[in-house]
Chains A and B, each alone.
Chain A
C-alpha cells in the first residue's frame, strides 16, 4: 500500500537556524514524485519543493532542500536560516506516475513547525 509517514507532530526551531522535517514513504512503484507543501493557519497549501524518483540529485529551492535517500525511502525537508514566517504545518506527499497514476497526492499527517524569535 502507498503511504507517507511523518513522525514529528510538532517541532521548534530558533530563528536563523536550520531544521529538518522527516518524511518516509512506502511504495513498490518505481515511478513516483515526492512533494512538500506548507500550510499556514490561513489554510492554503503552498508548494515548496519536488523530487522525482529518477532524479539523481537532491532538489533545492532557495532555502528549501530535499534530502532524498531512495534506498531508505526517505525524503526529508531541510529549511535553512529559519524565519518567523516559516511557522506553519508542513506536509510531505507522494504521487505515482506512469500506470500507477491515480491523480491523487497521498499526504502524511503533517508536522507543525514553530520558529522562535
Chain B
C-alpha cells in the first residue's frame, strides 16, 4: 500500500511569491492534515480537510489556504511569502473524520524563502 506522498520535495521561492504544495493521502483516507515545522517552533497545525471541506484551521494568517479535491488529494497555498515561512511542511492523512486512528505522515516539502 502506498503511503502519503507530497510534492515537490524541495521548493525555493523569493519573498512575495506564491507557493503551492501538494499531498496525496493513503488510498481510502478522507482526512488530510497540514502541519508546519519551522526551526525552533516545533510542529504547528495548519489545516484539516475531510470530504472536501475545511474542518479546522490553526492560528495562521489567511495567506495560508488550501483545498481538498474530490479524490481527497490536497493542496496548500501560501501567498505573499515571507522569510519566516521557510519550514518543512508535512501532510498527514487518516481514514475518516471520526476515526480513532493515528495520522500517517508524508515525507514533507521543504520550503525555502529567500
* A35 partner residues in chain B, CB cutoff 8 A: 102
A42 touches B107 (CB 8 A): yes
Given A43-B88, A45-B90, A45-B92, A105–B107 Cβ distance below 8 Å?
no
* Those of B21-37 within 8 Å (CB) of chain A: 31, 33, 35
How many residues of A are counted as interface, with CB atoms below 8 angstroms from the partner's CB atoms? Answer: 24
Given A45-B90, A104-B48, A50–B56 Cβ distance below 8 Å?
no
**Interface of A: prevailing SS:** loop
State in angstroms the CA–CA spacing of A117 and B105 once bound together.
29
B100 touches A44 (CB 8 A): no
How many residues of B are counted as interface, with CB atoms below 8 angstroms from the partner's CB atoms? Answer: 24
**Interface of B: prevailing SS:** strand
* A101 partner residues in chain B, CB cutoff 8 A: 98
B98 touches A104 (CB 8 A): no
B55 touches A103 (CB 8 A): yes
* B45 partner residues in chain A, CB cutoff 8 A: 102-106
B102 touches A102 (CB 8 A): no
**Which residues in A have some Cβ–Cβ distance to B below 8 Å?**
33, 35, 37, 42-47, 50, 52, 91, 93, 97, 101-110
